[in-house]
Structure 1
Amino acid sequence: MHPLLRLDRALFGLVSILAQALLWLAVATGFFQVVSRFVLHSPLEWSEVMTRAAVIWAVMLGVALAFRHGAMISVEFLREKLRGTPQRLLEFVVNTTCLGFLVFLAWIGAQMTYRVRFQSIAGLEISISWVYLAIPVGAALAALAVLLRWLTPHTETSRAPVRNDAQ
């Protein structure tokens, strides 16, 4: 197996597990908040903040997974119409644009994370920078996903866009 494919499968398999675990954590803490507020009549300070943080992290990790599976940019109509050099040029433009945006987002997100490092989250008493860190981490993983999708050897089925059942 190609080394990039091994890295791809291991890294994004871990990202998928983390994103799923964070979604389950958000559901569990949200449910616990509802039970504590309306059944026990004793709302918790930390559960709403924990739910929000888990959802933010799950979304940013999910963005990386979506980029890895080709579900983010819908230029498939044009890509299917083109062949050869024009198709490769279109892929180059799309991938370069995505990479530029994601690197910029990671850079800005890292600056924001650094700027808020001394602020703490009410109810959890941890730095809010742990939540903000989801932005540069998710953007960097998404940029890596774009690169891996672009550079790894592929078959036609692995490059096929994610099917949209809503259509």
Structure 2
Amino acid sequence: MAALLRFLRSLEHTLLAGVMLVMVLMYSGSIAVREIAPPYARYVVWVDEATRYLMVWLVFLALGIALERGRQIAMTSYLEMMPSRVQFVLRKIIDLTGLLFSLYITWVGIEMTMIIANTGQRSPTLGISTAYLYLALPAGFALLALRYALSLAGVIDRWSNSTHEGAV
């Protein structure tokens, strides 16, 4: 299980870094073309839409990593005042609730993506199906559900501050 989790983390980090790099390169190239060769700017109008789509994917794919590192918004001051046994039970309830919610959003996202795919809706400049954009929602929440499940099972400790030191 540890090897699989290590592989998942590595894959996510590589994918997110790659998407960010592609976004920076595309946008920088677009700016360079617009400033250096304005007559050719019409050939890079698609870059704005592509980077917006990539940003949506970037945000949703990072949900699981953010949860595991404790980078999500959390109000823990009241929880930390409780006895350790109560904290443990409440954290498991929180993980279970998060897991169920994430699975629900994954399911709704799949349904929504299928509806959009069936309409044939296409993006204005790229001309690709907008279902690819909507697919980011179930993909991201499926990764989030996986992290909640791993936390619920005790495979990862997303509650410990010591595991998050030095994390970006």
Same structural fold, with TM-score higher than 0.5 when normalized by the shorter chain = yes
Cα deviation code 1:90-146 (max 9, x no counterpart): 102211221222122212211221111122223323211112111000000011011
User: Unmatched 5+ residue regions in structure 1?
Assistant: none
| 8 Å Cα contact 2:150/2:156 also seen in 1 | no
Q: Is the Cα contact below 8 Å between 2:60 and 2:140 reproduced in 1? A: yes
Identity of aligned residues (%): 25
Change (3 A) 1:154 1:22: closer
Q: Which residue of 2 aligns with 1:142?
A: 144
Deviation at 1:147, TM superposition (A): 1.1
8 A Cα contact 2:103 2:141, kept in partner = yes
- Measure the CA separation in 2 of the matches of 1:131 and 1:99: 23
2:90 equivalent in structure 1:
90
How many angstroms apart in 2 are the aligned matches of 1:66 and 1:128?
A: 26
Tell me the residue number matched to 2:129. 127
Structure 1 counterpart of 2:55, one-letter code = V
RMSD of the alignment, in Å?
A: 2.3
Q: Is 1:107 matched up with 2:104?
A: no
Distance 1:19 1:122 in 2: 25
Distance, in Å, in 2 between the alignment partners of 1:18 and 1:40 is 32
- After TM superposition, the score normalised by the length of structure 1 is 0.83
Greater Cα shift, 134-143 or 73-82: 73-82
Q: Is the 8 A contact 2:99 2:148 kept in 1?
A: yes
Partner of 1:67: 67
CA separation of 1:87/1:138 partners in 2, compared to 1, >3 Å: closer, same or farther? same
Are the counterparts in 2 of residues 109 and 133 from structure 1 also a CA contact under 8 Å? yes
Q: Which amino acid aligns with 2:27?
A: G
What is the CA-CA distance between 1:149 and the residue it aligns to?
2.5
- Stretches (4+) displaced over 6 A: none
Per the normalisation by structure 2, the TM-score is: 0.82
Residue 131 of structure 2 aligns with an amino acid whose one-letter code is S
By how many angstroms is 1:153 displaced? 4.2
